[in-house]
């Protein structure tokens, strides 16, 4: 019996090792001649009737730069865990001469596109998780909390709000003294996640280093406090002496630790099954 279980476990690991690959690049939005795309990582689909939860990643870079490659390791891992993962490209200042407001419009368009095409992607439209780091963390949170900054071409009958959030040292305060205020200005009241927490906000997990020079620990603790005050689940994991971006793949120890904490969080929500586990690599 034990030998049979070991062989079954090895077989499952072998199957999962071949699961993750970017199957396609999809154009989700076009502005004049500019095409915005997302890379799709799918689990191995064993049945035409299977549906999966979705995990949508927004890269960091201060709404100025950045690359979808940042979360490629995360997408590979979670697609092996049975999620359809999306690496979303969006407009940034260095490439498109845009403001943070256009970045948010694109993020909301991406969530809407994924939800509208749930059948195509074989996802459950009620199990969409948004994730991101730094300014990408802002975008993920803002798709859930900010009602304005919608693209005029979007179908607003389709919700841009994800069902859960996984945020890595996110920019969640854009008010005076917060990150990006010099670019956001008076519109922070309609743009800053911290200033727009509402009842029934999606359950959220946060990761932050205690020596982050952009995101104060106190800000994140206050965010957690307000989330819990309105009755929304909000987990905060602090990492002693770690700086901004500590969770990235190049810091493998903390990449692995935060990845597995995010996994546990999604298991606790019933979005992921507890088993089978896959290797972090």
pLDDT in tens, the chain (281 residues): 433 433 333 333 334 334 445 679 999 999 999 999 999 999 976 567 789 999 999 999 999 999 999 999 999 999 999 999 999 999 999 999 999 999 999 999 999 999 999 999 999 999 999 999 999 999 999 999 999 999 999 999 999 999 999 999 999 999 999 999 999 999 999 999 999 999 999 999 999 999 999 999 999 999 999 999 999 999 999 999 999 999 999 999 999 999 999 999 999 999 999 877 789 99
Residue 49: per-residue pLDDT? 73
Residue 21: per-residue pLDDT? 57
Cα angle, residue 133 at apex, residues 279 and 277 outer, rounded to 5°: 15
Cβ contacts of 82 within 8 Å, gap of 6 or more: 43, 52, 53, 272, 273
Distance of alpha carbon 217 from alpha carbon 221, whole angstroms: 6
Which domains are seen in the chain, by residue range?
Answer: 2-268 (3.40.50.1820)
**Regarding beta strands 34-41 and 164-168, do their DSSP bridges make them parallel or antiparallel, or are they unpaired?**
unpaired
Q: Is the pTM of this model over 0.85?
A: yes
Within 10 angstroms of residue 261's Cβ, the number of other Cβ atoms is: 16
Provide the token pair at 1.
Answer: 């019996």
């Amino acid at each position: 019996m034990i030998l049979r279980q070991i062989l079954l476990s090895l077989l499952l690991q072998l199957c999962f090792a071949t699961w993750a690959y970017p199957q396609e690049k999809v154009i989700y939005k076009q502005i004049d001649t500019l095409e915005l795309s997302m890379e799709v990582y799918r689990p191995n689909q064993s049945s035409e009737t299977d549906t999966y939860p979705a995990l949508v990643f927004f890269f960091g870079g201060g709404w100025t730069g950045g690359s979808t490659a940042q979360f490629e390791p995360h997408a590979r891992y979670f697609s092996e865990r049975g999620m359809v993962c999306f690496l979303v490209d969006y407009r940034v200042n260095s490439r498109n001469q845009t403001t943070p407001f256009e970045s948010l419009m694109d993020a909301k368009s991406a969530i809407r596109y994924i939800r509208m095409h749930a059948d195509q992607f074989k996802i459950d439209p009620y199990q969409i998780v948004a994730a991101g780091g730094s300014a990408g963390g802002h975008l993920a949170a803002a798709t859930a909390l900010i009602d304005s900054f919608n693209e005029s071409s979007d179908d607003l009958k389709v919700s841009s709000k994800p069902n859960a959030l996984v945020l890595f040292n996110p920019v969640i305060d854009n008010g005076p003294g917060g990150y990006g205020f010099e670019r956001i200005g008076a519109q922070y009241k309609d743009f800053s996640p911290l200033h727009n927490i509402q009842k029934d906000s999606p359950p959220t997990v946060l990761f932050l280093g205690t020596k982050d020079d952009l995101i104060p620990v106190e800000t994140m603790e206050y965010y957690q406090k307000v989330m819990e005050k309105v009755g929304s689940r909000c987990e905060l994991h602090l990492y002693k002496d770690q700086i901004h971006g500590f969770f990235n793949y190049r810091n493998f120890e903390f990449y692995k630790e935060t990845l597995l904490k995010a996994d546990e969080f999604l298991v606790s929500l019933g979005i992921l099954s507890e088993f089978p586990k896959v290797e972090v690599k």
